[in-house]
């Protein structure tokens, strides 16, 4: 209930800002790249609940046919599907949108309807979840709480993380707020996300993120997820 109240309060207080960003960005995509302005994708957001997630279209048309978990090879054991920022799949406007972290702005509409939270783990396509399960069967724990627009991972940068460390952070967040929800932590994550996006602060390290989580929730994440943080994927250990 506290988390839902936090989401609604922030949505309404910041409505002039995100509505303006929604309209301006939509217009920029429509004028420069044409339609569709939005990209809709089925993603898991919470437990077994999936949602047709709305994002700004930042890539060329039909990019999902070229870049998806079924077609993009797994490099260095990374099963999260992270398209590099210099990929030719991005449109010129799309690069600007990604650079300034505007991609998820339309998802404020999902937050208003209660299907997402402002702060939480990013929703994932089922094929990415299936791929992760091959090495990390505990991946389901990252869906114990609703997905969000931003989270602890975004304070580091998804491209700077291995799968096991990212999962350790995401699962720790879910466990921590389930036991002791902190409004201050969620607000701080959102504030730090904005500061990092604007270049006003350097990204965090994984250790700093774990310390932040422990400070505001009294959750000893390093000890509780040591099996995830240090382990190798199952198939690598088997070989």
Residue boundaries of the structural domains of the chain: 2-232
pTM of the model: 0.88
The predicted model gives 65-86 an average pLDDT of 78
Lowest mean pLDDT segment, chosen from 25-34, 66-75, 114-123, 127-136: 66-75
CB atoms within 10 A of CB 51: 20
User: Tokens representing 94?
Assistant: 């799309």
Q: What is the DSSP string of 52-109?
A: EEEEE--B-TTHHHHSSTTTS---TT--S----TT-TTB-HHHHHHHHTT-TTGGGHH
Coil vs helix vs strand at 151: coil
Give the separation between CA 42 and CA 11, rounded to whole angstroms. 23
Angle (deg, nearest 10), helices 183-197 and 206-217: 150
pLDDT above 70 coverage of the chain, percent: 91
Q: What is the pLDDT of residues 153-201, one digit of tens each?
A: 999 998 888 899 999 999 999 999 999 999 999 999 999 999 999 999 9
Burial of 202 (0-12, 13-18, 19+ CB in 10 A): exposed
């Amino acid at each position: 209930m506290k988390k839902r109240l936090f989401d609604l309060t922030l949505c309404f207080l910041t409505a002039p800002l995100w509505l303006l960003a929604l309209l301006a960005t939509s217009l920029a995509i429509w004028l420069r790249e044409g339609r569709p302005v939005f990209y809709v994708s089925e993603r898991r957001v919470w437990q077994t609940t999936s949602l047709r997630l709305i994002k700004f279209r930042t890539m060329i048309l039909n990019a999902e046919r070229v870049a998806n978990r079924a077609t993009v090879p797994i490099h260095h054991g990374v099963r999260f599907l992270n398209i590099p920022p210099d990929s030719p799949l991005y449109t010129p406007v799309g690069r600007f949108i990604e650079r300034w972290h505007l991609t998820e702005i339309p998802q404020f509409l999902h937050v208003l309807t209660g299907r997402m939270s402002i702060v939480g783990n990013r929703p994932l396509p089922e094929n990415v979840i299936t791929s992760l399960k091959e090495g990390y069967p505990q991946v389901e724990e990252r869906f114990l709480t609703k997905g969000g627009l931003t989270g602890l991972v975004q304070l580091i940068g998804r491209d700077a993380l291995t799968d096991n460390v990212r999962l350790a952070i995401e699962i720790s967040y879910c466990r921590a707020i389930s036991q002791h929800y902190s409004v201050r932590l969620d607000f701080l994550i959102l504030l730090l996300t904005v500061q990092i996006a604007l270049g006003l602060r350097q990204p965090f390290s994984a250790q700093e993120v774990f310390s932040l989580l422990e400070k505001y929730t009294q959750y000893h994440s390093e000890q509780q997820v040591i099996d995830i943080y240090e382990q190798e994927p199952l198939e690598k250990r088997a070989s």
